[in-house]
Amino acid sequence: YIPLKELFKDHFFVGAAITPAHTDIRTPHGRTLVEHFNSVTAENVMKPDAIQRIKGTFTWTEADRIVQFAKENNMKVRGHTLTWHSQTPDWFFFDQTGALLSKDIALKQLEEHITAVMTRYRGMIDSWDVVNEALFDWDPDGQIIYREDSPWYKIIGESYIDSAFVYAHRADPDAKLFYNDYNSIFSWKRNKIFDLVKRLKDNNIPIHGIGLQGHWFVGTSVEDLRTTLELFRGLGVEIQITELDLSVYLSSNEPGSVVYTDEFNTRQRIAYPEIFRVLLDYSDAIAGVTFWGIGDDASWLDTPGRKHFPFLLNEQLQPKPAYFDVQRLL
C-alpha cells in the first residue's frame, strides 16, 4: 500500500484526531501517525473545558504535546475548537446563582479565551475551528436557524459568531478561520451554512473556510455530498472534511456487532471509494481531509456491543480492503 499522505499529496492533506498518548512514536499509534498522516487535530485537549476549566487558569500541557509532536514531524495542526456549546465550562455562561451572564461579560470571556489560546499557538496552527455547531440540526422546514439551546446564542444572539471570528483574526492573523458543523450535506443544514457564511463574508467578517465534519455512514448520499461541495465552493472559501468517520451501519436500528463482518467490509468497499471519488473531484476546493481517529481499534462512536469500524485502517492499524479500493482511484 501507499501511505495515505502520499496517496493524496497532490490533492489534500490527510489528518487524524488524536489524544496526547498517540504522540509517542514508540507505540503503534505514534508510528502510524507518522507513516500515514500529515496533519493532526486534538480530539479533546484543545476544547475550552480542557484548556480553561477554571476561569483564568490555563492548562496547556496536553495541547502543547500535540503541537510539539506535529512540529517535530512536519505535520499541520487543526485547532479544535474555540466557541462551542459543548465541552465548555459553565463559568463561560452562568454566574454563581446559575443565572445567565450578561452579554458584555460573556463576550469578554470569549475574547479572552480565544486570544489566550490562539496567541499561545500563533503561527503553529493551519486552521482553527472558531465556531463549532452553531446551527440548528433537525429542521427540514427551515424554521429554526440557530441552535437555540446554545448558551452563546441565548446570551448574545447570532452576533457571537461574528465576534468570535473577529477576535480570532486579531489573535492570529495567519490562521485560517473555519466554521465547522455536522449533517452539513443535508439540504436543510447545507443551506443554513451557506447563508451564514455568505452573511459573514458580506459583512467582511474574517472567515476562510467551512469544515464538514463528515460523521457519515455507509448509506450516505454521495449526491448530497456533491451538491454541498458545489454550493460551498461557490462561496470562494476553503473546504475541509474535518472529522471523517464512516460507520458500517445502515441505521441506528441495525443490531450492533463487535466483529467486522463480510457485510460491513462489502459496504465500506462500495461507500469509501464513492466518497473519495467526489472529494477528489472537488480537490481544487478541498484543502484537507481529517479522520476522527486513526484506526478501527478506537472511535468515539463505539459503545459496548456496537463497534462502528469507521476508518480505512483496521483494529491493528493496517489497511482494510476499502483502503485499496480508495488507492485505486489515484
Question: Restricting to residues 166-205, which ones interact with ligand XIL according to CB under 6 A?
Answer: 182
Between 84 and 167, CB nearer to ligand XIL: 84
What distances in angstroms separate CA 137 from CA 32, 267, 288, one per listed residue? 34, 27, 24
For the window 101-140, what string marks contact with ligand XIL as x by the rule CB under 6 A?
-------------------------------x--------
Question: Restricting to residues 274-303, which ones interact with ligand XIL according to CB under 6 A?
Answer: 300
- Considering 133, 238, 243, 274, which one is annotated as catalytic? 243
Nearest CA among 193, 199, 81 for reference residue 139: 193
Q: Is the dihedral of CA 73, 20, 128, 171 positive or negative?
A: negative
Nearest CA among 54, 134, 128 for reference residue 88: 54
Beta-strand (E) ranges in 235-291?
Answer: 238-247, 286-291
Between 181 and 325, CB nearer to ligand XIL: 181
Residue 43 makes contact with ligand XIL by CB under 6 A: yes
Give the total residue count for the chain.
330
Q: How far is the CB of 300 from ligand XIL (least distance, A)?
A: 3
Active site residue 238: no
Question: Restricting to residues 231-250, which ones interact with ligand XIL according to CB under 6 A?
Answer: 243
# binding residues, ligand XIL (CB under 6 A): 7
| 247 DSSP β-pair partners | 217
- Are 242 and 78 contacting, i.e. CB atoms less than 8 angstroms apart? yes
Q: Is 50 helix (H, G, I), strand (E, B) or coil?
A: helix
Out of 127, 150, 213, 228, the residue judged to bind ligand XIL by CB under 6 A: 213
Residues acting as catalytic residues: 243
Interacting residue ranges for ligand XIL, rule: CB under 6 A: 43-44, 132, 182, 213, 243, 300
